[in-house]
Amino acid sequence: MAFYVVQFLTGLASAASLFLVASGLSIIFGVTRIVNFAHGAFYMLGAYVAFTLTARFSGALGFWGGILAAALIVAAVGVLVEMLLLRRIYHVPELFQLLATFGLTLMVEDLVVLGWGPNDLVGPRAAGLKGAIDFFGQQIPSYDLFLIVLGPLVLGLLWLVFQRTRWGVLVRAATQDRDMVAALGVNQKWLFTSVFALGVFLAALAGALQIPRDAVTHEMDLRVIVDVFVVVVIGGLGSITGAFVAAVLVSELNAFGILIFPKISIILVFLVMAAVLIVRPWGLLGRAEAPVRRTPGLTVNPWRPLTSRERIAVAIAFLLAASLPFYAGNYALAVGAEIAIFVIFAASLHFLMSTGGLASFGHAAYFGLGAYGTAFAVKLAGLPMAAALVAGPLFGLLGAVVFGFFAVQLSGVYFAMLTLAFAQIVWSVAFQWVGLTGGDNGILGVWPERWAASAPHFFWLSLAVAVLAVAGLRIATFSPFGFALRATRDSPLRAEAIGINGKRIQWSAFLIAGTVAGIGGALFAYLKGSVFPDVLGIPLSVDALVMVLLGGVETVSGAIVGAIVYKALSIWLVSQTEWSKLVLGAFIVLIVVAFPKGIVGTLDSLWHRRPSSLKDAMLASKIETAE
Amino acid sequence: MQRRVLLGGALALTVTGLATVTGLAPSAFAQSGEIKIGEINSYSLLPAFTEPYRKGWQLAVEEVNAAGGINGKKLVVISKDDGGKPAEAQTAANELVSNENVAMLVGTFLSNIGLAVSDFAKQKKAFFLASEPLTDAITWSKGNRYTFRLRPSNYMQAAMLVEAAAKLPAKRWATIAPNYEYGQSAVAVFKKLMSEKRPDIQWVDAQWPPLGKIDAGPVVQAVAAANPDAILNVEFGADLVKLVREGETRGLFKGRQVVSFLTGEPEYLDPLKDEAPQGWIVTGYPWYSIKTPEHEAFLKAYQAKYNDYPRLGSIVGYETIKAAAAIIAKANSTDPDKMIAAAEGLSLSSPFGEITFRKIDHQSTLGAFVGKTALKDGKGVMVDSVYRKGADYLPSDAEVEKMRPKD
């Protein structure tokens, strides 16, 4: 019995540290609607700064003072980030801030290595709380007890601040309707800055409080960020009590789950999230979102198919690309094929995001299923290459059929998180089922047959498939189906009123996007000759998201340019420098500030400002007013 | 003339840009006076391991060239980062082979990356010397004739630990390992070899926390609840730190024997400082207590150049380049088939003594040190350490032939 009590308390301690990070994220999201990917980076910075301070100032005051000072210092950094970067981009489509914070995260990962060196750092134990307390023969670390008290304490303090202060009332009002708060004359700028500072303070405090338990490494941010997102979503976005309940739920399920299924940890949070979202689409304590005022896919310049002159230009670009094998070496061709494959992948996500208005955070699942499907077709069924290239995408389709059905019941960030959960579940199956997938060691020897083996042939194959895929997606966008999809995106109620079955239309879009991503995955398996669980992983999903946002989510085919620029740049940077993350992150941040609508989106609106397209501009302004 | 023109223009620009960036044609033919080796490792993902490794190979390059190069030709190493991803490692391998025309590929740390590059080497018929990956598959179930491996494999380290573990009186064993291929196969091999030697032991609990995300408190409690006499640990890095801290505070290790993979390597032991566990049976690299002339020469040269002590990665990096140079020198050619013929059965010296690349599975016989952890001057060290030669901890030739695919 004592054992179960202690296990329960241990779970509570884990919950407390999870809650501290999650509460900050939840507050920031609630008010600013920023999906703050850099929250993990602030957590990590908190730990690094606390490590330095506690090493310099010893003693109880040095330790606890160091922890607090670290959180304050990092909160100040957060204020700078908010004022210099985020303030410039509040007006751009949602999710675009995600790109900025993602760039920031990349930079911080390299910066901490530059600043603190490559080794794992182990900070001091908590002053005064080093030992353990005996509980009927079981040892409970006193630091755990401290955390168990701290969690609810922070929750209570936040509750007081939000319920009993004017600032808190404003924050709650902004969480519900920030436009209304602005209309009532509240200075939003400082409200946002202070909220961001509080959120970052909590993240940094949580990171600093980890140093007596954990090692400080440059990978801390990614270890924590996904779990924290999941906790926030389970609890209900913007609900701090919900985040607390979710943290306790997840931690306790883990603490007791491992007694029965020791392998459960890797997948547990995602299972819980998927289950919760299917039953309660807005999380445990979340409320239904207010109707969206501004859809991510809403375009000011109305979409239209290509004019004949544009078609000629595209044909010339295609011919230029297709002539690459006549003057480029094998390596350039392999890189070209990889870029073509990522064009397919990014275009499929772009279709889902811009035409469908559904931002998936787990699109790699379908890319990876395509790759694994192809590998199975070759290795287990012994199919020839042409058949395997067809079989692979069918796996992507199958995954999209199942997951899409549940996912399209939700919208917005909840949709994004459910897709993330599904992707993570597929990833952990591939990662753990060593018997079938080879686990982490992957499936080797999926090389192309002779007809496609040479670098020029494979490049042409990838390019041809990419052109077909992009053309197909464009045709779908401008087909009646595409119009129905866009109608559902822009106004679900009106679309329903004219007899469009929105969920079915969105589900179909999900299937199309999943299948096209699977085609990309199938080609990727042959390009690399092997398949590893990475192809299902979160980093790949994020890559695709970055490509789409970089190209411009409000465009018809911006993802193509986004994919080419991002992939070419990242391959080149990885080859040229070990600080590729720093450079790439800085590049992304610059792009976000300079081209807040994405590369193609910004070029597009520049073009539309010209007098020659006055008519278009007028049309656009009419539409804008109509909205 | 609107968006698509811009789109098209951007596409064309990028394609041409790409072509120039990646080299229009393989322009970097090795000059007659030098031999190029292509090196790939996870420098940005795992700097703690790859920095000492890089120092090691840079020292070796210097030594090789100071001694007149390889048969009179200067040795040049072109090094690439793989970001910790197999797909990017393959892109780098392709660049090295297609654009840089390197004589051979060396390096890699993570098992999956080692396997990805070895499969690439097989496909492109390029010579690959895997330096650090531990997986048994790379020389056995997924072995190929183009791939050689330097570091003692998972199986060899398990066999060395089992030899010591079997002498313990403990009968009830629990295991803690990261939940991925390396952790799973380390536990599987250890259990198999251990149960062969000691049919009387029982496996009472197995914990599989996710890699890099151990929730150490509940794991420690769960293991303690099974009340084992001894614990096998495969955790490393930040996970190990958390496990040790929780385990010490909660008294998990009190009165229990712990056998642990890799923990004696400075890379893993040193960050723990005065919290390093004591009395664990580990494999590792006690650079401070190896008194052979080969090692002392290495240590002196390393400390003189870097003013720092070597980690195990330094040894691996150093020996990788020494082995590569010896293979090319013996083959007197950079033709892959001739290099394979030269490498099979090749013996050379190393800081740990003479090693041989086995003909049967291309595994080197580099060994490891087995000893006990202890605290000395507020730092973790290995004591009573003994060098175990790799050759003594490999399965019989018949078993190897059964596992390894025919070329």
Domain chopping of chain A, boundaries: 2-279, 322-608
Distance from the Cα of B173 to chain A's closest Cα (Å) equals 16
Residues of A in contact with B94 (CB under 8 A): 330-331, 334
Q: Do A607 and B3 touch (CB under 8 A)?
A: yes
Nearest to B273 among A122, A217, A314 (CB): A122
Residue of B22, B81, B220 best to disrupt the A interface, most CBs of A under 10 A: B22
The CA distance from A574 to B261, in Å, is 32
pLDDT the model gives residue A438: 86
C-beta atoms of A332 and B237 within 8 A:
no
Give B39's strand partners.
Answer: B79, B106
Which residue in chain B is spatially nearest to A224 when comparing CA positions? B213
- Average pLDDT in the B191-201 region? 94
Residue A531 pairs in a beta bridge with A443
Is B44 in Cβ contact with A110 (below 8 Å)?
yes
Crossing angle of helices B3-21 and A558-576, rounded to 10°: 20
**B22:A329 CB<8 A:** yes
How would CATH label the architecture of A2-279? Orthogonal Bundle (1.10)
Nearest Cα to Cα of residue A304 among A506, A486, A468, A465? A486
**Chain B residue closest to A216 (CA)?**
B238
The per-residue pLDDT for A323 is: 93
Question: Topology of B2-153+291-366 in CATH?
Answer: Rossmann fold (3.40.50)
* pLDDT more than 90, % of chain A: 50
The 3-class secondary structure across A90-126, one letter per residue, is: CCCCCCHHHHHHHHHHHHHHHHHHHHHCCCCEECCCC
Q: Is B191 left (phi over 0), alpha (psi -120 to 50) or beta?
A: alpha
Q: Which helix (H) or strand (E) segment is B40 a member of? A: strand B34-41
pLDDT for A376? 95
- CATH number of the A322-608 domain: 1.10.3470
Place of tokens 């085609």: A519
pLDDT tens digit string along B114-137? Answer: 999 999 999 999 999 999 999 999
In one-letter notation, the amino acid at residue B272 is: L
**Residue A165: what pLDDT?**
94
Q: Look at A310 and B5 and tell me if their CB atoms are within 8 Å.
A: yes
Whether the predicted model's global pTM rises above the 0.90 cut: no
Question: Tokens for B9?
Answer: 């223009």
Amino acid identity for residue A569 in this structure: L
Task: Please list every residue in chain B whose beta carbon sits closer than 8 Å to the beta carbon of residue A478.
Answer: none
- Contacting residues for A194 by C-beta, under 8 A, at least 6 apart: A167
A39, A225 Cβ separation under 8 angstroms: yes
**What is the spatial distance between Cα B206 and Cα A571, in angstroms, rounded to a whole number?**
41
- Given a cut of 50, whether residue B3 has pLDDT beyond it is no
| CA neighbor of A546 nearest in space, from A603, A487, A591, A594 | A591
Greater pLDDT, A514 or A230: A514
CA dist A71 and A47 (Å) reads 9
Q: Amino acid identity of A364?
A: A
- CA–CA separation, A441 and B87 (whole Å): 12
Q: Say which of B15, B86, B112 has its CB closest to residue A320.
A: B15
Smallest Cα distance from A568 to chain B, Å: 7
Distance of CA A241 to the CA centre of its chain: 24
pLDDT, residue A549, reads: 87
Find the range with the poorest average confidence among A298-302, A378-382, A579-583, B347-351.
A298-302
Contact yes or no for A309 and B182 at CB 8 A: no
> C-alpha angle A619/A624/B3, rounded to 5°?
55
CA B181 – CA A441 distance, rounded (Å): 7
User: Min CA distance, A382 vs chain B (Å)?
Assistant: 18
- Cα of B209 to nearest chain A Cα, Å: 6
pLDDT tens per residue, range A538-581? 889 989 988 998 888 878 788 999 999 999 999 998 888 888 88
In chain B, list all ranges with CATH 3.40.50.2300. 2-153+291-366, 155-286+368-398
Q: Does domain B155-286+368-398 have CATH number 3.40.640.10?
A: no
Predicted local confidence at residue A619, as pLDDT:
45
The whole-angstrom distance between B86's CA and the closest CA on chain A is 7
CA distance A329 to A575: 16
- From chain B, the residues in CB contact with A617 under 8 A are none
Sign for the CA dihedral angle at B169, B171, B176, B180 comes to positive
CA–CA distance, B12 with A354 (Å, rounded to integer): 24
8 Å CB contact of B249 and A139: yes
Question: Mean per-residue pLDDT for A437-445?
Answer: 89
Q: Which amino acid is at B38?
A: G
- What are residue A595's phi and psi, to 5 degrees? -125, 70
More confident residue, A11 or A604: A11
d(CA B339, CA B333): 7
Q: How many residues does chain A have?
A: 627
Distance from CA of B108 to the nearest CA of A (A): 14
CB-neighbour burial class of residue A302 (10 A; exposed 0-12, middle 13-18, buried 19+): exposed
Same fold, A2-279 and A322-608: yes
**DSSP character at residue B277:** -
The answer to whether residues B30 and B73 touch, using CB atoms and an 8 Å cutoff, is no
Inter-chain CB proximity B87 and A535 less than 8 Å: yes
Mean pLDDT of A131-148: 87
CB B25 within 8 A of CB B100: no
Contacts of A455 in chain B (CB under 8 A): 98
Burial of residue A7 (CB within 10 Å: 0-12, 13-18, 19+) is buried
pLDDT for B29 beyond 80? no
How many CA atoms does the CB half-sphere of B198 hold within 13 Å?
Answer: 18
Q: pLDDT (tens digit, 9 = 90+) per residue, B207-258?
A: 999 888 888 999 999 999 999 999 999 999 889 999 999 999 999 999 999 9
If you write DSSP's letter for every residue of A440-451 in order, what string do you get? GG-EE--PPPHH
**pLDDT of B10:** 45
Distance CA B352, CA B13 (A): 54
Distance CA A79, CA A91 (A): 19
Q: Mutate which of B4, B82, B97 to disrupt the A interface (most A C-beta within 10 Å)?
A: B4
Q: H helices within B125-169, ranges in order?
A: 154-165
| C-alpha distance from A159 to closest chain B C-alpha (Å) | 28
Residues B96 and B298: their CA atoms lie apart, in Å, by 29
**What type of residue sits at position B4?**
R
Give the closest-approach CA distance of B227 to chain A in angstroms: 12
Partners of B37 in the beta sheet? B77, B104
3-state helix, strand, coil in chain B (%, to 5): 45, 20, 35
Residue B344 near residue B129 (C-beta atoms within 8 A):
no
Instruction: Tell me if A370 sits within 8 A of A522, measured CB to CB.
Output: yes
Tokens of A267: 């997948």
Residue B369 pairs in a beta bridge with B284, B387
Chain A residues with CB under 8 Å of B111 CB are 440-441
The beta strands (E) that lie in A156-312 are given as 215-216
Q: What tens digit of pLDDT does each residue of B83-110 get?
A: 889 999 999 999 999 999 999 999 999 9
CA distance B264 to B281: 9
Across the interface, which of A6, A258, A568 has its CB nearest the CB of B219? A258
Residue of B nearest to A309 (CA): B1
> Would you call A144 exposed, middle or buried from its count of C-beta atoms within 10 A (0-12, 13-18, 19+)?
buried
CA end-to-end span of chain B, whole Å?
58
CA distance, residue A357 to nearest chain B CA (Å): 21
Q: Is residue A137's pLDDT more than 50?
A: yes
* Spatial distance between the Cα atoms of B143 and B128, rounded to a whole number of angstroms: 12
Check: CB of residue B382 under 8 Å from CB of residue B282. Answer: yes
Distance CA A368, CA A623 (A): 40
pLDDT of residue A434: 81
Contact B237 A120 (CB under 8 A): yes
- Dist CA B219 CA B69 (whole Å): 53
Q: According to DSSP H, which parts of A478-598 are helical?
A: 480-490, 492-497, 502-528, 538-551, 558-576, 580-594
pLDDT in tens, A330-373: 999 999 999 999 999 999 999 999 899 898 989 999 999 999 99
Q: Which residue of A has its CA nearest to B113?
A: A441
Q: Which of A139, A143, A214 sits opposite B251 (nearest CB)?
A: A139
Q: Which residue has the higher pLDDT, A604 or A332?
A: A332
- The pair of structure tokens assigned to A57 is 């100032």
Q: What pLDDT does residue A301 have?
A: 58
All residues of chain B having their beta carbon less than 8 Å from the beta carbon of residue A375 are none
Helix (H) or strand (E) holding A420: helix A412-432
Across the interface, whether the CB atoms of A251 and B119 are under 8 A apart is answered no
Please give the Cα distance from B259 to A366 (Å, whole number): 41
Chain A: residue nearest B43 by CA?
A: A578
Contacts of A327 (CB under 8 A, 6+ apart): B19, B24, B25
Helix (H) or strand (E) holding B380: strand B379-388
**Quick check: B400 and B360 in contact, CB under 8 A?**
yes
User: Between helices A96-116 and A220-235, what is the axis angle to 10°?
Assistant: 150
Look at A214 and B217 and tell me if their CB atoms are within 8 Å: no
Quote the pLDDT of residue A616: 47
Using the beta-carbon criterion (under 8 Å), do A331 and B242 form an inter-chain contact? no
8 Å CB contact between A50 and A207 = yes
